[in-house]
Amino acid sequence: MAHRLAVEGRGLTDAIGLFVLARRPFLAEIGRLGERRALDPARLARLYDEAAALLDRLLLRFVAAHAAATAERAGSREAPPTSPSIP
């Protein structure tokens, strides 16, 4: 997704905004899951923290992928590619 957004010319701020929008339903579902299964608050908090930490690591990878694709896109404007890229 990060690569595609960068290739489309979407800026990093816009791309991160879309990432954050996509993660909200996931985190909200953890809360609903806790209610449906009557998880104790400590366990639910741990699940939420683990999911948030995973999504934070994913966001860092997302930013790195966007930056790499942006740099690749900028380089392709300077010189034509010597071989076709594989998506």
**b or e along 55-86 (b: 16 or more beta carbons within 10 Å of the residue's beta carbon)?**
beeeeeebeebbeebbeeeeeeeeeeeeeeee
pLDDT given at position 77: 65
Q: Is the dihedral of CA 39, 42, 46, 52 positive or negative?
A: positive
Q: What angle do CA 1, 26, 4 make, to 5 degrees?
A: 5
Whether 86 is covered by a domain: the verdict is no
pLDDT given at position 78: 53
Q: Is the pLDDT of residue 83 over 80?
A: no
Q: Is the pLDDT of residue 27 over 50?
A: yes
In terms of residue numbers, what domain contains 11? 2-74
Q: Is the pLDDT of residue 84 over 70?
A: no
Whether 57 is covered by a domain: the verdict is yes
Whether 10 is covered by a domain: the verdict is yes
Question: pTM, whole model, 2 decimals?
Answer: 0.76
| Helix and strand numbers, DSSP H then E, in the chain | 3, 0
Q: Which of 3-12, 30-39, 47-56, 60-69 has the lowest mean pLDDT?
A: 30-39
* Average confidence score pLDDT of the chain: 88
Whether 67 is covered by a domain: the verdict is yes
Number of domains in the chain: 1
